[in-house]
Structure 1
Amino acid sequence: MRISTSSMYANSVNRMNDNQSQLSRIQQQLATGLRILTPSDDPLGAAKSLDLTHGQAMNAQNADSRISAKNALSVQEGVLQSATELIQDVRAKVVAAGNGTLSDADRKTFAIEMRSRMEELTGLANSVDGAGNYLFAGFKDDAAPFSGNGGTVSYNGDSGQKLLQVGTARQLASNDAGDAVFMNVPAKSVFQSSTSGTGGATLSSVTVTDKSHAKAGHQYEVAFSNGGTTYTMFDVTSDPNKASPVASGPYVSGQPIQAAGMEMTIAGTAVDNDTVTISPVRNQSMFKTLDDVINLLETPVSGTTDGAAKLRYGMQVAGDNMDSALDHILAVRASSGARLQEIESLDDEGSARDLNYASQLSGIRDLDYVKAISDLTQKQTILQASQQSFAKVSGLSLFNYI
């Protein structure tokens, strides 16, 4: 078969171009340290590399979220630590103020100090983070969640918890809302009442006199009859049909009624079909507990017939509710601490996952330098040989033999 000179030239140039291209590709691999420069180099490896890179980016994003959650929970823990110390101090003051030898003036001094502690607790509840966001406001973190009017403190935030994606399948709350921390605290021996009817009888006070007979969490109803001159009391929790009264007798405004381990005082004019419902308060804010103590300490005992007894009972209830507040805030701190501990575990897991991603990516993308240098030397030799052979062949001519 005859091969034309132009065909021979074209084939030689194409081969040299191919060798030059392969040599250039190996040089790029050596410069970047990557085996896969374009998806066409290894389509399957490129797809796998893309998946791993996406997983690595998500892992890095989760790590950033863990840092944000850790910072927020650490700031919150610092505030709750201060609140814990405040409550412990107030609890000690309650014990000291309950000393029966103190005068009314002495107790008022304690009340003044506790009002200061109330303001301090409100300030802690309105704490902000480094960005100026209120810690305990839920999602409404751009405004102070707690506002006070005298002894009454109200919550203006919401119950939202900010969830951050801290793991591949784990979301974690980076805050606790103020209503859950400071407002909804389990209460002991605290009651509320409501009145129905056309008369004016209302509950003045309730005192637990015998805890062995008092039924925690029960609701009672006092009904009036005979022109409001007699009362009948029912335990509507145990006896919703009100078939068996727990107490009955003549009603005298302001005279205590002894029943179910409690002493309650109802005052005012009663008429037929009037009812006074007495139910326990299940949750009470820390601020209300403090305010109750302050009001109790500001109420004079000297010159009253039952003032000392009411003071003893009130201080006992205050002590119980301060203990409940302390237990509650310690439980919140335990939950916050558990989340911080989980973040540390997720950090270790995330670090191990990142190393795994890096190892797999290295196995797919990274260049084998020994093989690449060997290929480079081989391609250089082939290119040089093809260039030299082309130079000699291109110099052949019959005119050299004439």
Structure 2
Amino acid sequence: MRLATSNMFDASIANLQRRQQKLQETQGQLTSGKRIAQASDDPTGAARAERALVSIGRVDANQRALEASRNSMILSESALGDASELMQQMREAMMAAGNASYSDSERAGLANKIAGLRDQLLTIANRSDGAGGFLFGGQGSGTPPFLDQNGGVTFTGVGGSIQTGNMDNFALTIDGDQAWQQARSGNGSFVTGPNGNTAGASTPPKGWIDSGRVTNPGLLTGNNYNIVISGTAPAQTIAVTNTDTGAAVPLDGNPTGTFTPGKGISFDGMAMTISGKPVDGDQFSIKPSSNDLKVFDVLDKAVAELRAPLRGQAEISQSNSNRIRDLDAVMSNLQNVRSQVGERMNNLDGTETRMAALKQYNKSEQSAAEDLDMTQGISDFQNQQTGYDTALKTYAMVQRMTLFQYINV
């Protein structure tokens, strides 16, 4: 087989070009630290790296949503903490208002104090989130969600909360309607209160009833009751009627219905105490609790009652007892919401840890798919450089293998 000199030259040049190209590719990999510059370098590895990169982008988006939710929850928790402090101050004022030695003007002064604290509380309920929204705006409100009107404070927002919309659905707002307007009335199971006198509904009783307590949840009926005191002390009796069924209700351990002020009475899984000096015909009602107790309604009622002049001690005691009971209920509801916010913050911390681990895993996957093994890369570069030098020397020797070289000699 006869080989022309030109073929040897072409083969040597082609070999040099291949080696030079490979050397340049390896040098580029060493410079970038990546073994895949384009998908054609390693289609499988490129696809693997792309999947990891997409997952990292998704985690980054979730982390941004998490931070937005965390900032909102921190502000909401702080607002609820401020609200609890104000509510505690109002409760202390109501406790002081029960002092029998206080005059009407002194109670009116306490009413003014509560009214001022109430206005501060309204500002907290309408607190902005710093981004054009409101912490307690629910599912969104372009204006402050609580509107103070002549008839009281109303919630103008939309119940619920705004979610980030990602897979984890982080909350960005608090349901203001639930937090400020859906406390459980009474003691949580039933509501006690005065019901006038049989001589006239506008005649206040001379005694007062406490908020009561549950003795046996299994016996609760959820019905309405009416309690009537009959006779003159010390020979008074008490009768309880289930107004839903019209039936008389027997008292536990008291078949004769003997009544003594300050002594507990119990029936149908409930117990309560009527104190003071009730007179013949005094009535008290018991109603099932409901989730409609509103913070600002309670405060407005407390202010109005404290400003009312010429009230008797029984009326004052009943009023203060009911308002303190209601304050405790709305405070408990706000505390429950605050606990929910705290739990959300704990969940955010746990989710953030999980996201960080997922992001680290995907970065490792991306690195394993496209990063260059630097030790191997340097070794390959040195080998290719040696091969390229050898190819150059070989080409130089091939150049001298011509007839003209021999003629010149």
Tell me the TM-score normalized by structure 1.
Answer: 0.78
Q: How has the CA–CA distance of structure 1 residues 258 and 9 changed in structure 2, closer, same or farther, with 3 Å as cutoff?
A: same
- Residue in 2 that maps onto 1:218: 223
* Contact 1:77 1:333 survives alignment (8 Å): yes
* C-alpha deviation, 1:257, in angstroms: 6.2
1: CA distance between counterparts of 2:280 and 2:127? 45
Q: Secondary structure at the match of 2:134?
A: coil
Instruction: Summarize deviations over 1:231-258 as a string: whole Å, max 9, x none.
Output: xx97465x3xx6x477xxxxxxxx9965
- Residue in 1 that maps onto 2:69: 69
- Select which of 297, 312, 323 maps to 2:328: 323
- Residue in 1 that maps onto 2:135: 135
112-121 vs 17-26, greater mean Cα deviation: 112-121
2: CA distance between counterparts of 1:310 and 1:130? 45
Q: How has the CA–CA distance of structure 1 residues 79 and 150 changed in structure 2, closer, same or farther, with 3 Å as cutoff?
A: same
2: CA distance between counterparts of 1:62 and 1:257? 66
- Select which of 339, 357, 362 maps to 1:334: 339
Instruction: Summarize deviations over 1:156-184 as a string: whole Å, max 9, x none.
Output: 00113122367xx5323232121111111
Q: How has the CA–CA distance of structure 1 residues 26 and 148 changed in structure 2, closer, same or farther, with 3 Å as cutoff?
A: same
* Contact 1:162 1:173 survives alignment (8 Å): yes
- Select which of 391, 394, 397 maps to 1:392: 397
Q: How has the CA–CA distance of structure 1 residues 4 and 30 changed in structure 2, closer, same or farther, with 3 Å as cutoff?
A: same
- Residue in 1 that maps onto 2:359: 354
Which aligned pairs between 1:3-402 and structure 2 lie closer than 5 A?
A: 3-150=3-150, 152-164=152-164, 170-188=168-186, 189=191, 209=209, 211=212, 217-219=222-224, 235=242, 237=244, 239=245, 244=247, 262=284, 282-301=291-310, 307-402=312-407
* C-alpha deviation, 1:208, in angstroms: 7.0
Instruction: Summarize deviations over 1:308-352 as a string: whole Å, max 9, x none.
Output: 322211111101111111111111111111111121222222222
RMSD after superposition: 3.2
* Contact 2:98 2:317 survives alignment (8 Å): yes
Q: How has the CA–CA distance of structure 1 residues 2 and 105 changed in structure 2, closer, same or farther, with 3 Å as cutoff?
A: same
* C-alpha deviation, 1:209, in angstroms: 4.1
Instruction: Summarize deviations over 1:92-141 as a string: whole Å, max 9, x none.
Output: 11110011221111111111111112211111101112223211111223
2: CA distance between counterparts of 1:370 and 1:333? 56
* C-alpha deviation, 1:60, in angstroms: 1.7
Tell me the TM-score normalized by structure 2.
Answer: 0.77
Q: Secondary structure at the match of 2:164?
A: strand
1: CA distance between counterparts of 2:213 and 2:385? 100
* Contact 2:181 2:294 survives alignment (8 Å): yes
- How many residue pairs get aligned? The number is 352
* C-alpha deviation, 1:148, in angstroms: 0.9
Q: How has the CA–CA distance of structure 1 residues 301 and 263 changed in structure 2, closer, same or farther, with 3 Å as cutoff?
A: farther
List gaps (5 residues or longer) in structure 1. 194-200, 222-232, 247-254, 265-277
* Contact 1:219 1:280 survives alignment (8 Å): no
Q: How has the CA–CA distance of structure 1 residues 154 and 401 changed in structure 2, closer, same or farther, with 3 Å as cutoff?
A: closer
* C-alpha deviation, 1:202, in angstroms: 8.8
Q: Secondary structure at the match of 1:300?
A: coil
Q: Percent identity?
A: 26
* C-alpha deviation, 1:371, in angstroms: 1.5
- Residue in 2 that maps onto 1:224: none
Q: How has the CA–CA distance of structure 1 residues 192 and 349 changed in structure 2, closer, same or farther, with 3 Å as cutoff?
A: farther
2: CA distance between counterparts of 1:297 and 1:37? 79
Equivalent position amino acid for 1:292 in 2:
K
